[in-house]
Amino acid sequence: MSLLTKTMSLAAAAAMAVTLLSSASFAEDGTGQQLYPLFTYRTGPYAPSFIPFGAGNIDYLRYINEVEGGVDGVKILVQECETAYTIERGIECYERYKNGYNGALTAAIYPHSSGLDVALTDKARIDKIPIVSPGGGQNIATDGRVFPYQYPLVFDYWSEAQIIVDYIAQQAGGYDKLKGLKIATLYHDSGYGRDTIEPLGILSKKYGFEDIQIPVPHPGEQQQTQWQQIRRANADWVFLRGWGVMTPVAIKTAARVGFPANRIIGDIWSGSEDDARPAGAAANGYLAVSVFPPGTDYGILKTLKADILDKGKSDLKDNSKFGTVYYNYGVIEAITFVEALRTGHKKFGNRPLTAAEGQWALEHLDIDQKRIAELGAEGLISPLKTSIDNHKGETIAAKIIQWNGQSWDTRTDWIKADASLFADVIKAKAAAYAKEKGIEPRVATN
């Protein structure tokens, strides 16, 4: 999804260039600190999504630095790099920080873009830099034997397709009731949007529902034709894979053609408050997949409010965004980074990790229910355990939420994807990729 590129003003660039989470002295010497290159898109059409997300990211890391004294005593140095959500600028940011910054080591890079994640695949393998994309990585990179430096942590779009079908089956009365149903996928016509075409084709053959795929050109401000097509097809459900303005436009256009909102299920990037609220009353009853549950009634959110927001230290300019989907997403992602560092410290000692050590830590993550409780994140995240064979996590799960006109209500507990369903396909695709690139798959040891 490479989009507009506008040059930031010098003043804005200066303001965004560096975010320090502890003291100004860290800008001059990063020695002894762990670098966190924060890829931002504070400019461009997707900035409304990043702003609360980035605040959640920064607030959690600020809490770790200022309240907990760092990760096992190691402070985190955050360096912002503005991509405007473009591939070109994202690669510039990667090149700028892949080898660290002023003495601070890089253990991993979170590109914050599915397109950039793909674009960095070859570079990361050559440079041996871990690329981590919670919720937005490549499904094929689950196979860490072939993709040693890609981490589609927490969630992926193939699992999402499976969870959508599972939820629809629950509503229909069982998987056997899916036969004959028509499920239309309205997708952003980009690599991200097209990523569920293949798994839905597989699921359609398995369960007998009709799979209808309808693309929407970027940015998706005109969708009358697509929704009339959905109406003519008599679709029973719509899986909405939007991004940015496409989502509220889809919900409002659906209302105009008479398609009920409670039969539309948005994907994880179509399920924020900023996706539903602009659609007004048309969004009442709208459903969405949630890997980043909204709300403030989580232990870690209460801690952040007391130690960061109430003390005027939050990166949020609009505190009404606290506890929103994107804010919580930022917190969750930061948790994965910090927990990876803790994992690495147990093996390598309490010091900044190199990229090689970050790689080891990321494929030995084990955030179990006990650790989730210790983090104050019960209900906010589901267990996450990785390995060399599985860079995504053994248990992939999401909830279904529903818009009530003001906020999201949780409709389900965690729905777990069946990891075995696509395992053979993923391994076959990874093997084909390895053959094409001349990669010798690693052997999992420890």
> Would 15 be classed as within a structural domain?
no
> Would 371 be classed as within a structural domain?
yes
Of 1-5, 254-258, 351-355, which range is least confident?
Answer: 1-5
Give the pLDDT of residue 44.
86
Whether residues 358 and 283 share a domain: the answer is no
Give the pLDDT of residue 151.
97
Q: Is the pLDDT of residue 208 over 70?
A: yes
Give the pLDDT of residue 9.
35
Nearest to 16 by CA among 37, 46, 1: 37
Residue with tokens 């007391």: 306
Rounded CA-CA distance 337/37 in Å is 11
C-alpha distances in angstroms, 90 versus 50, 407, 425? Answer: 14, 33, 30
Q: Is the pLDDT of residue 15 over 90?
A: no
Q: Output the 3-class SS for the chain.
A: CCCCCCCCCHHHHHHHHCCCCCCCHHHHCCCCCEEEEEEECCCCCCHHHHHHHHHHHHHHHHHHHHCCCCECCECEEEEEEECCCCHHHHHHHHHHHCCCECCEEECCEECCCHHHHHHCHHHHHHHCCCEECCCCCCHHHHCCCCCCCEECCCCCHHHHHHHHHHHHHHHHCCHHHCCCCEEEEEEECCHHHHCCHHHHHHHHHHHCCEEEEEEECCCCCCCHHHHHHHHHHCCCEEEEECCCCHHHHHHHHHHHHCCCHHHEEECHHHCCHHHHHHHHHHHCCCEEEECCCCCCCCHHHHHHHHHHHCCCCCCCCCHHHCCCHHHHHHHHHHHHHHHHHHHHHHHHCCCCCCHHHHHHHHCCCEECHHHHHHHCCECCECCEECCCCCCCCCCCEEEEEEECCCCEEECCCCEECCCCCCHHHHHHHHHHHHHHHCCCCCCCCC
Q: What is the pLDDT of residues 29-55, one digit of tens each?
A: 899 999 999 999 999 888 988 999 999
C-alpha distances in angstroms, 356 versus 108, 407, 419? Answer: 9, 42, 28
Whether residues 276 and 373 share a domain: the answer is no
Q: What is the pLDDT of residues 62-71, one digit of tens each?
A: 999 999 999 9
Whether residues 195 and 118 share a domain: the answer is no
Q: Look up residue 170 and give its two tokens.
A: 């629950």
pLDDT band, residue 61 (cuts 50/70/90) = very high
Q: Is the pLDDT of residue 28 over 60?
A: no
Q: Is the pLDDT of residue 80 over 60?
A: yes
Q: Is the pLDDT of residue 27 over 80?
A: no
- Indicate which CATH number applies to the domain containing 188: 3.40.50.2300
Whether residues 146 and 220 share a domain: the answer is no
Question: Pick the residue with more confidence: 234 or 191?
Answer: 234
**Domain end point (choices 268, 290, 312):** 290
> Would 337 be classed as within a structural domain?
yes
> Would 188 be classed as within a structural domain?
yes
Q: Please list, in sequence order, all residues whose beta carbon lies within 8 angstroms of the beta carbon of residue 238, skipping any fewer than 6 positions away.
A: 183, 184, 185, 186, 230, 254, 259, 263, 264, 265
pLDDT band, residue 5 (cuts 50/70/90) = very low
> Would 243 be classed as within a structural domain?
yes
Whether residues 225 and 286 share a domain: the answer is yes
Across the chain, what does the average pLDDT equal?
Answer: 92
Rounded CA-CA distance 210/241 in Å is 18
> Would 232 be classed as within a structural domain?
yes
> Would 27 be classed as within a structural domain?
no
Question: Pick the residue with more confidence: 120 or 20?
Answer: 120
Give the pLDDT of residue 7.
30
Q: Look up residue 415 and give its two tokens.
A: 């729905």
Q: Look up residue 298 and give its two tokens.
A: 């989580």
Give the pLDDT of residue 11.
34
What is the pLDDT averaged over residues 92-102? 97
Whether residues 196 and 286 share a domain: the answer is yes
> Would 409 be classed as within a structural domain?
no
Whether residues 326 and 425 share a domain: the answer is yes
**Domain end point (choices 259, 290, 321):** 290
Q: What is the pLDDT of residues 341-378, one digit of tens each?
A: 999 999 999 999 999 999 999 999 999 999 999 999 99
| pTM, 2 dp | 0.88
Give the pLDDT of residue 419.
87
**Residue 437 neighbours by CB distance under 10 Å:** 11
Give the pLDDT of residue 22.
40
Residue with tokens 């996450």: 384
Give the pLDDT of residue 45.
81
Helix axis angle, 157-172 to 197-207, nearest 10°? 30
**Domain end point (choices 261, 290, 319):** 290
Whether residues 425 and 306 share a domain: the answer is yes
Residue 27 buriedness (CB in 10 A; 0-12 / 13-18 / 19+):
middle
Q: What is the pLDDT of residues 130-175, one digit of tens each?
A: 999 998 889 999 999 999 999 999 999 999 999 999 999 999 999 9
Give the pLDDT of residue 29.
83
Give the pLDDT of residue 446.
54
Number of domains in the chain: 2
Rounded CA-CA distance 163/178 in Å is 14
Give the pLDDT of residue 176.
97
Whether residues 431 and 373 share a domain: the answer is yes
Give the pLDDT of residue 401.
97
Give the pLDDT of residue 103.
96
Whether residues 209 and 323 share a domain: the answer is no
Q: Is the pLDDT of residue 331 over 60?
A: yes
Whether residues 103 and 167 share a domain: the answer is no
Q: Is the pLDDT of residue 18 over 60?
A: no
Range of the domain at 301: 34-155+294-395+421-437
Whether residues 184 and 281 share a domain: the answer is yes
